[in-house]
A and B are shown apart, each in its own frame.
Chain A
Amino acid sequence: DARVTQTPRHKVTEMGQEVTMRCQPILGHNTVFWYRQTMMQGLELLAYFRNRAPLDDSGMPKDRFSAEMPDATLATLKIQPSEPRDSAVYFCASGSSPGGGAQETQYFGPGTRLLVL
């Protein structure tokens, strides 16, 4: 049963520290999405990649957040320096879209629950 995996599942850190979250998309999927979920804002798209190239990161605070895909099996989301307002659940999702399009189904990982003190 193919699944998106995310590590770590939980992270507690202090303000100012660097946080790295990792995602392994489903093998063969060429699109990866990063979302943030909070009680106040709900689910927000931060960034997404197709074939490892960033397509849109307009939802991401540029000064402290960065997202990369070092290879097809790994996506990373970094926060440096972290702040208490970054506390949230961060989800990775992957999909398969040979030519792009609105019907692509996204498969979500279990999320990384981040708490910044």
Chain B
Amino acid sequence: GNSVTQMEGPVTLSEEAFLTINCTYTATGYPSLFWYVQYPGEGLQLLLKATKADDKGSNKGFEATYRKETTSFHLEKGSVQVSDSAVYFCALTRSEKLVFGKGTKLTVNP
């Protein structure tokens, strides 16, 4: 079946540190891949997406590259800010349905 595995949190970083959140997937065919972010008390917001192999999604300094050979879509940011503190969800879509990972909570300290 289709599934997403992302690194367990929580992740705690200092401001300006480098961020990586690992995400791997299992799917038949070639799904589209997404990262969503959830700020406290809010719904999920699309952060970035990639629809085919080798595509790079980017937004707000975050990047992720669709790697078919390793079935991965790791999220990276070169310098995190306190305002990036949130829960990050990796997801894939097959047949219009989103399948989410468990989420990774990120806390950035000043």
Contacts and interface: CB of A to CB of B under 8 A. Distances in A.
Contacts of B97: 45, 48, 56
B93 A102 contact: yes
Nearest to B29: A102
A104 B96 contact: yes
B20 interface: no
Interface residues of B, number: 22
Contacts, number: 53
B96 A42 contact: no
A105 B42 contact: no
A51 interface: no
Interface residues of A, number: 24
A32 B82 CA distance: 33
Contact of A97 (B41, B42, B96): B96
Given A102-B93, A102-B94, A102-B96, A42 B43 contact: no
Given A43-B103, A102-B95, 20 more contacts: A31-B96, A33-B98, A42-B103, A45-B97, A45-B98, A55-B96, A100-B96, A101-B96, A102-B31, A102-B51, A103-B32, A103-B93, A105-B46, A105-B49, A106-B98, A107-B46, A108-B43, A108-B44, A108-B45, A110-B43
